[in-house]
Structure 1
Amino acid sequence: MSNQQIKWLILLLPSFVIGLWEYCRHEFLLSVVSMTMGNWLSPFIVFIVTFIVGRRLFRIMENNEEALKETKAKEAVLEERQKISQELHDSISQSLFLLSVQVKQLEGSAEQKKKIDQTIECIQQEVRYSIRTLRTPPPQTIDLKEALHSFAKQIEEESATIQVNVQWEIAPTELSEEEQLHLYTMIREGMVNCQKHAISPTSMKVFGKSTFDGWEVFVTDNGEAPNTLGTTPDNHFGLRFIHEQAARHGWDVSLSRLYEETVLRITKDESYDRANARLNR
């Protein structure tokens, strides 16, 4: 049963009940139930029938809405996986083209051979990471704090030299299911970028807290400044992905160097969003 049909049933149910009661009362119960008693019974009967049937209809409507949310979450996951697949395809194509050019120019040069070996190693790293991402996409509904702790543990197992600390103080009620999903993928991408591009990091931190009118998230590491710092997001798939996701939800993203740490900051300021909405009216 669709939500539109349920709404019509809820609207028509009281009229149908009162009409049926009045017909039965005048046709069959007039000698048994007085007019005064009938007038008192009418709202009571309408309330009882509407309450019993309406509760079931509302429950069906809530189930329909939950199913719709779940479907949207699945579509969001599939969309993100499709984007990652496309980026993986483009990255491998470019790297293989560069590799073929370098092979043609090799002509016995040891220096060129070394560059080719480095390119092949880079391709292997990108392919391994992308395949892992595609095989383990974020779940449709998540406990964001638990998911971050789980991914932090995975990074520590892969990189024995990096210790990951997660401090999460943002309540689940402050984010919708879709926002939790997308924020998780952004934080995860930031953590992977720290792991891949930071130079000799030994510590990584993920910190999320509520602010006066929104929230902010920090992903930091104590490694030396990576090559991605100061570059435009278009030059790097990870940064571009994070900026695209932030733009979709109206969040702010910055990457900077502070107190000998590389800091990725993601923020949401609802007061700023409301001010923009008023200006765009």
Structure 2
Amino acid sequence: MSYNQLKWFILLIPTITVGAWEYIRHEYLLPYISMDLGNWLTPVIVLFVTFTLLTRFFSKLEQMQEELRIERAKKAVLEEREKIAEELHDGLAQSLFLLSIKVRQLDKIEVSEENEELFGRLRENIHDIHDYVRLGINNLKTPIEDPDVSWKDRLQQLIHEFETDSGMEIERVIEVEESLLKTKEQSELLACLHESFVNIQKHAEASVVNIQIKISPDKKYLMIKDNGRGFTEADLNKSGSFGLKMMVQRCQRINWNMDFKRENGETIVTLSRR
């Protein structure tokens, strides 16, 4: 039933009810009930019909209005996100791109070995910052997540995208009870997993990736293993290690821990509930 049909039903039903009652009363019930009793019964019948029929229509109308309000709110948020993304692209992203070009021009200048290492780290940092800005822009342009799509489906989609981009097949064991994760936890864990994939693809030089995810009343953890060259505690403190620092901060925001270790030539990153 459409919105306009609901409005017409709400407007016409009380009128039709009164008309039908008056017709029946005068044509068939006049010998049995008095005028005063009939007059008293009229509002009672209208009230009964209103509660039995119109309350359902009102509930449906309120539901449609709420859905419309949510849709408008999503549209407004998406428009604002796109506006911010455009400002980032036209401002910060372009400036970083130009800065990277300027830094490349320094390659033509003869400098000491110490300064050459400094320029190398500067180029790498600018490149990483540029990648994260582009990632932020893409995330801002991405439509708001559909509540009908489960977290596990979004997880599988993220894994599939990594496999497509990297050409590697991920070994996975996923056992998830989504109701045990808050919405914030779901969002931050997906972001951490995405960041792990970026690090593996860009820096680890891995050929095998394994993921284990367990969300149950007894255990809540997400573990990523790869056979790449790994990273150390000192890497977290490097000025260019934005991705690792972001993962630590995301875990802290949802009261999770991030631990990592090297074992049998593998890097193992574990996110677990405190």
How would you bin the TM-score normalised by the shorter chain? 0.5 to 0.7
How many Å apart are 1:179 and its aligned residue? 5.0
Match of 1:236 in 2: 241
Change (3 A) 1:133 1:184: same
Question: What is the Cα-based RMSD across aligned positions, in Å?
Answer: 5.0
* Structure number with bigger Rg: 2
Cα pair 1:85 1:134 within 8 Å, conserved: no
Match of 1:245 in 2: 250
Unaligned runs of 5+ in 2: 1-9, 27-33
Change (3 A) 1:136 1:165: farther
Cα pair 2:251 2:258 within 8 Å, conserved: no
Change (3 A) 1:156 1:46: closer
How many Å apart are 1:238 and its aligned residue? 0.3
Match of 1:190 in 2: 196
Match of 2:231 in 1: 226
Change (3 A) 1:172 1:60: farther
Fraction of identical pairs, as percent: 16
How many Å apart are 1:264 and its aligned residue? 2.5
**Alpha-carbon distance in 2 for matches of 1:218, 1:176:** 19
Cα pair 2:236 2:244 within 8 Å, conserved: no
Aligned residue pair count? 242
**Alpha-carbon distance in 2 for matches of 1:81, 1:239:** 27
For residues 45-194 of structure 1, what are the structure 2 equivalents within 5 Å?
45-48=49-52, 49-65=54-70, 67-68=72-73, 106=111, 115=117, 122=124, 126=128, 129-130=131-132, 133=135, 136-137=138-139, 138-141=142-145, 143=149, 144-160=151-167, 162-175=168-181, 180-194=186-200
Cα pair 1:73 1:141 within 8 Å, conserved: no
What amino acid is aligned across from residue 255 of structure 1 in structure 2? D
TM-score, normalising length: structure 2: 0.59
Match of 2:221 in 1: 216
Cα pair 2:78 2:144 within 8 Å, conserved: yes
The residue matched to 2:261 in structure 1 has which SS? strand
TM-score, normalising length: structure 1: 0.58
Cα pair 1:197 1:226 within 8 Å, conserved: no
The residue matched to 1:241 in structure 2 has which SS? helix
For residues 26-37 of structure 1, what are the structure 2 equivalents within 5 Å?
31=35, 34=38, 37=41
How many Å apart are 1:206 and its aligned residue? 2.8
Change (3 A) 1:95 1:68: same
